[in-house]
């Protein structure tokens, strides 16, 4: 029986890897989800056949409750709320890994230096991922309205980290851990996750979510070793490795070391930088419609404002009208646009925008100089020219979309503020820039109406 069980776990791991590979492209992403889901189903069913398993009724009840809740939320949660859904699901994975470690310690099943070390590491990383993801969820859901930074924040981080590491060493090196040491270790690990994540603002949130995802994967992999479950080991390490690579790519796209994201985050408060020169010039829906309707090439740059307004369908309707008029339309996506990796890609795909019209920063940046109009919808930092010129700006050195090089720039934003990160955007003051104020849903609907009038 055991050879068959181990072979089934191996097959499940292969399905996980194939699924992850397929998810790297929008064209095959749906197939990747199906493969990974099949792998998870196989691993779950095989677990029931593992010798020594007990409490089948509780296992079935947990699966029914978890699967039922996930199925319901998957249907009712809006696409605009996907970042917080990803954050809380990721947190559940880290929490489950930490709970496994706590249970194994309480039963006295953790024996040997290597097993104890990995159990403690998995518990630490999983606890931080769980509480940190809960904070990320609260921020994205609007429950936590702003970033909270403690006095001497980095000193508090250091003291907490040293305390947790000290307890971890004691658990690994000492005899069977005392209940109070174990409880204090988990409490401080959870607090560390909260304290690390609370000061981080929305501008850094894509990197944070990716990093917490990597933490969860590593925690699951470590606890899989403790349980002797190869499927958990392989799946966890694959998720941890891919999450780490994605985090590095996201940090590179912001030109911010991961340490800076954690210890010197862009919090959303007013940020340093040179005062913009010029004035912001307003445009009406008719102005925007006329500029695009009589253009030859239009590049659309979606951002978080489009997500908040749920305007992706209106944006695609407008793009189709322009295409019908013979205008070339493309979409430009920055790697850290939105509140999670791939946020804008998901929204555009949900609206039905063909994949071949969506381009990333490296592919399309050279085309802005040939565009008649660049339309920015709710994006801020990823199009801020200060990243190229202002050494005092927190964004300095960050690769941006070269929107300012287009002949005309239209920026749709809700108000005249500096944006979520608190960094003033010099693009808004450019001679070739016009501001279209209002919610993206209403503003684009107005532009659509004016385009139809011009076409008639």
* Active centre residues (catalytic): 381
Residues 406, 373 contacting (CB under 8 angstroms):
yes
How far apart are alpha carbons 268 and 420 in whole angstroms? 6
Instruction: Count CA atoms within 13 Å of residue 303 on its CB side.
Output: 23
Give the list of residues 6+ apart from residue 425 with CB closer than 8 angstroms, or none. Answer: 276, 380, 381, 383, 384, 386, 418, 419
121: left (phi over 0), alpha (psi -120 to 50) or beta: alpha
- Torsion angle, CA of 155/156/160/161, rounded to 10 degrees? -40
How far apart are alpha carbons 53 and 71 in whole angstroms? 26
Residues 219, 125 contacting (CB under 8 angstroms):
yes
How far apart are alpha carbons 238 and 67 in whole angstroms? 23
Give the list of residues 6+ apart from residue 331 with CB closer than 8 angstroms, or none. Answer: 299, 300, 301, 302, 319, 348, 353, 357, 358, 359
| Joined tokens for residue 289 | 């419609």
| Joined tokens for residue 284 | 């009406």
Give the list of residues 6+ apart from residue 242 with CB closer than 8 angstroms, or none. Answer: 20, 214, 217
How far apart are alpha carbons 153 and 156 in whole angstroms? 5
How far apart are alpha carbons 212 and 206 in whole angstroms? 10
How far apart are alpha carbons 444 and 131 in whole angstroms? 38
């Amino acid at each position: 029986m055991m050879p068959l069980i181990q072979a089934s776990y191996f097959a499940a791991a292969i399905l996980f890897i194939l699924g992850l590979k397929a998810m790297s492209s929008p064209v095959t992403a749906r197939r990747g989800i199906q493969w990974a889901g099949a792998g998870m189903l196989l691993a779950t069913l095989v677990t029931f056949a593992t010798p020594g398993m007990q409490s089948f009724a509780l296992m079935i009840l947990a699966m029914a409750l978890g699967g039922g809740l996930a199925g319901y939320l998957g249907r009712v949660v809006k696409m605009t709320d996907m970042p917080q859904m990803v954050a809380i699901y990721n947190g559940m994975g880290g929490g489950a890994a930490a709970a496994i470690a706590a249970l194994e310690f309480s039963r006295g099943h953790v024996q040997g230096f290597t097993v104890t070390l990995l159990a403690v590491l998995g518990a630490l990383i999983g606890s931080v991922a769980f509480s940190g993801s809960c904070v990320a969820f609260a921020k994205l859901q609007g429950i936590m309205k702003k970033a909270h930074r403690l006095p001497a924040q980095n000193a508090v981080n250091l003291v907490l980290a040293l305390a947790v590491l000290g307890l971890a060493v004691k658990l690994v090196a000492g005899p069977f851990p005392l209940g109070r040491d174990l409880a204090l270790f988990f409490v401080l690990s959870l607090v560390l996750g909260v304290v690390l994540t609370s000061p981080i603002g929305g501008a850094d949130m894509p990197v944070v979510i990716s990093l917490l995802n990597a933490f969860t994967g590593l925690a699951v992999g470590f606890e899989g070793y403790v349980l002797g479950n190869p499927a958990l080991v392989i799946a966890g390490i694959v998720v941890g490795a891919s999450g780490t690579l994605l985090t590095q790519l996201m940090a590179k796209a912001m030109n911010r070391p991961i340490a800076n994201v954690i210890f010197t985050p862009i919090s959303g408060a007013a940020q340093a930088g040179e005062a913009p020169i010029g004035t912001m010039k307003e445009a009406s829906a008719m102005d925007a419609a006329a500029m695009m309707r009589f253009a030859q090439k239009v590049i659309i740059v979606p951002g978080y404002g489009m997500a908040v307004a749920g305007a992706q369908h209106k944006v695609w309707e407008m793009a189709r009208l322009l295409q019908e008029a013979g205008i070339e339309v493309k979409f430009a996506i920055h790697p850290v646009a939105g509140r999670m990796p791939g946020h804008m890609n998901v929204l555009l795909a949900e609206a039905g925008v063909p994949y071949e019209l969506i381009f990333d920063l490296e592919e399309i940046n050279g085309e802005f100089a040939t565009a008649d109009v660049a339309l920015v919808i709710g994006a801020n930092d990823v199009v801020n020219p200060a990243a190229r010129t202002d050494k005092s700006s927190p964004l300095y050195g960050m690769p941006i979309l070269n929107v300012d090089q287009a002949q005309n720039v239209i920026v749709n934003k809700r108000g005249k503020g500096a944006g979520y990160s608190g960094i003033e955007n010099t693009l808004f003051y450019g001679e070739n820039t016009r501001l279209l104020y209002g919610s993206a849903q209403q503003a684009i609907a107005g532009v659509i109406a004016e385009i139809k009038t011009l076409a008639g």
